[in-house]
Structure 1
Amino acid sequence: MIALLLALGSSLAYGCADFLGGLGARKAHVLRTVLVAAPASLLVELLVWPVLGASFSAGALGWGAASGVASAAAFVLLYRTLAIGPMNVLSPVTALVSAALPVAVGLLEGEHLGTAGLVGLPLALAAVVLVSAGHGAGSARPSRTALLLAFGAGSAIALQLVFLHQAPADSGVAPLITGRAISSAVTLAAAALLRRRLGSERPAYALSATAGVLDSLANLLFLLAARSGDLTVVAVITALYPAGTVLLARGVLAERVHRGQLLGLGAAALAVSLLALT
């Protein structure tokens, strides 16, 4: 139950972070947004270091660095994806892709599900599909480029989560700090190389920084959830984060929520209830 609650918190934080990051990327080049978000995330992880501790072993540094590279790619691809829009379609597509690899890794590592979990797991995946499926009259259709970016972002997120899960359980927040430091360095290097293409628009500092803080919180909650529960369940619950993004996009941007998406939200709630019984 603790792992489930942590995963739900991670899902909520990811959904809010993606929404704010996507909005920020609409106001300036995506790299400018990430240059604000990534350091803000690192600051949060440094602040929790004294509380949760950190052991910078070879395993923590290696897996943390790998997660950092994946995180940098995820930041750029995801915020660019959501900047193109529509958020209420692309975010769920990204989430579905991001759930597949961690679930496969968990099953290959020998994790087993009870009867409720065997029903809840595919139902949760179906919920993500339903939230993203169908456009309905008057709804915006994503471009091929946007869909490719969404698949790329989902793959990067999946790798980041798997790499974090592989880090030693006694390493504290060391993998997060290492990963965020690496992702910030990679982003800074990319921005330096592409500085002439970044334009003159200033990023939405408050939106971008808040997105970074929420993303850091989501990573922390996921790491704690994965250490106290099965990766298979935790990854799927975390992948339900589009529910928050979809609802925020509906309330703030007036993006249309299709009837199938509402059905998906209901299926997600039922899936979480079933997975809580595992």
Structure 2
Amino acid sequence: MTALLLALGSSLAYGCADFLGGLGARKAHVLRTVMIAAPASLVVELLLWPVLGASFSPGALGWGAASGVASAAAFALLYKTLAIGPMNILSPVTALVSAMLPVSIGLVQGERLGAVGLIGLPLALAAVILVSAGHGAKATRPSRTALLLALGAGAAIALQLIFLHQAPSDSGIAPLIVGRAVSSAVTLSAAGLMFRRLGTERPAYGISAAAGVLDSVANLLFLLAARSGDLAVVAVITALYPAGTVLLARGVLAERIHRGQFIGLGIAAVAVSLLALT
């Protein structure tokens, strides 16, 4: 139950962070948004260091650095994807990809689910697919470029989660600190190399920083959930984050929500309830 609640909290934080990041990337070049979001996320983790502790072992350093590279790619690809839109289709596409890879890894590593879990896990995946459903012929459909970016973002998110899960369980938040330091360095280096292509638009500082803070909270909750539960279950619950993005896009941007997406949200609630019994 603890892992489930942590994963749900991670999902909610990811959904809000993605919405804000995509919104910020509409106002300026995506790298300008990430240049603010990544360091803001690092500040949060450094503040939590004295509270939660950190052990910088070789495993924590290595897996943390790998997660940082994946995180930098995920930041840029996801925010660019959501900036192109529509958010309520592209966000769930990334979620489906980001769920399938960790689930596969977890099952390959020997994780086993009970009878209830074997029902709840496919239901959760079905919920992600339904939330990804389009809106019919008259709806705005994503471009091929946007879909490719969404697939890339989903793969990068999945790798980030897998790498964090591989870090030693007694390393505290060291993998998060190392990962965010690496992702910040990668982002700032890329921005320096592409400085002339970033445009002159000023980024939305508050929105971008808030996205980074929420992303840091989401990563922390995922790490704690993965350490106390099965990766296969935690990854799928975390992948329900588009629910938050979709609802925010509906309320703030007036993007339409298809009936199938509402059904998907209902199935998600059932799936979470079943997985809570495993």
Q: TM-score range by the shorter chain?
A: over 0.9
Runs of 4+ in 1 over 6 A off after TM superposition: none
Q: Are the counterparts in 1 of residues 131 and 243 from structure 2 also a CA contact under 8 Å?
A: yes
* In structure 2, distance between residues paired with 1:19 and 1:199: 22
Q: Are the counterparts in 1 of residues 134 and 141 from structure 2 also a CA contact under 8 Å?
A: no
* In structure 2, distance between residues paired with 1:204 and 1:34: 11
Q: Deviations along 1:35-92, whole A, 9 cap, x unmatched?
A: 0000000000000000110000000000000000000000000000000000000000
Letter aligned with residue 132 of structure 1 = S
Deviation at 1:137, TM superposition (A): 5.1
Q: Deviations along 1:165-206, whole A, 9 cap, x unmatched?
A: 000000000000000000000000000000000000000000
Written as runs of structure 1 = structure 2, the 5 A alignment for 1:81-120 is: 81-120=81-120
Written as runs of structure 1 = structure 2, the 5 A alignment for 1:194-273 is: 194-273=194-273
Unmatched tracts of structure 1, length 5 or more = none
> 3-state SS of the aligned residue for 1:199?
coil
* In structure 2, distance between residues paired with 1:247 and 1:94: 16
Letter aligned with residue 270 of structure 2 = L
* In structure 2, distance between residues paired with 1:64 and 1:103: 20
Q: Deviations along 1:75-113, whole A, 9 cap, x unmatched?
A: 000000000000000000000000011000100111110
**Which residue is 1:122 aligned to?**
122
Alignment length (residue pairs):
278
* In structure 2, distance between residues paired with 1:204 and 1:60: 33
> 3-state SS of the aligned residue for 2:200?
coil
Deviation at 1:136, TM superposition (A): 2.7
Written as runs of structure 1 = structure 2, the 5 A alignment for 1:1-278 is: 1-136=1-136, 138-278=138-278
Letter aligned with residue 98 of structure 2 = S
* In structure 1, distance between residues paired with 2:55 and 2:161: 19
Unmatched tracts of structure 2, length 5 or more = none
> 3-state SS of the aligned residue for 2:260?
helix
Identical-pair percentage = 84
* In structure 1, distance between residues paired with 2:201 and 2:91: 25
Letter aligned with residue 15 of structure 1 = G
Q: Deviations along 1:218-275, whole A, 9 cap, x unmatched?
A: 0000000000000010000000000000000000000000011111111111110010
| TM-score, normalised relative to structure 2 | 0.99
* In structure 1, distance between residues paired with 2:277 and 2:170: 27
Letter aligned with residue 22 of structure 1 = G
Q: Deviations along 1:97-144, whole A, 9 cap, x unmatched?
A: 000110001001111101111011011001010011132354210000
